Amino acid sequence: MLAAVWWALAGCGDDGGATATSLPVEAVVPVGFDREGVTITTADGRQQTASVWVADSTDERGRGLMEVTDLGGASGMLFVFDTEGVGRFYMWQTPMPLDIAFFAADGTFVGSAEMAPCLEPTAAACERYAPDEPYLLALEVPAGELDDLGVGPGARITRP
């Protein structure tokens, strides 16, 4: 809930000087997730390692980055599914704008999307995001950071 309060305050400004940058708001980091390093190979063959939170159970995938305002030093969150599918992601109660990249079972990039926060009262009001083909892994990172990681057409992700 703190993240929802943080996000609501981010739009303040004409209230006698209080702004989101002047309000002391504690960061909300992911809790209860394991962390691992993944290797991203770019389309031109460069490799880099990124530290990510891992959501690999139904409960973890359902919670994801809801209410999170700080990734605690990780590059993002990797959603790991048991089988390939075409399920849709949404941003309900997720205050940070995120980008998402989808990868097939062999780690190849299959699509991406820019996702806007959705702080509506119910998840039904939130936009849904999915690629046109099945995926096994989905990587969420802060908006604009997929390019920094080299994620896009021709890229591949590898887990330990």
* Residue 1 clears pLDDT 60, i.e. is over it: no
Give the pair of three-digit tokens for residue 1. 């809930």
The pLDDT tens digits for 6-60 are 333 333 333 344 444 445 568 999 999 999 999 999 999 999 999 999 999 999 9
Q: Is 21 part of any domain?
A: no
| Tally of structural domains, the chain | 1
Domain-embedded: residue 104: yes
DSSP line for 98-143: EEEEEE-TTSBEEEEEEE--B--SSGGGS--B--SS-EEEEEEEET
Give the domain range for residue 133. 29-158
75, part of any domain: yes
Residue 3 lies in a domain: no
Mean pLDDT of the chain: 88
Residue 52 contacts residue 36 (beta carbons within 8 Å): yes
In this prediction, what percent of the chain has a pLDDT beyond 70? 84
Which residue's structure tokens are 């046109």?
132
Q: Is residue 2 part of a domain?
A: no
51 strand-pairing partners: 37
* 74 within a domain of the structure (yes/no): yes
What's the CATH code of the domain at 81? Answer: 2.60.120.1140
Between 13 and 93, the higher pLDDT residue: 93
Tokens for 77, please give them.
Answer: 């969150």
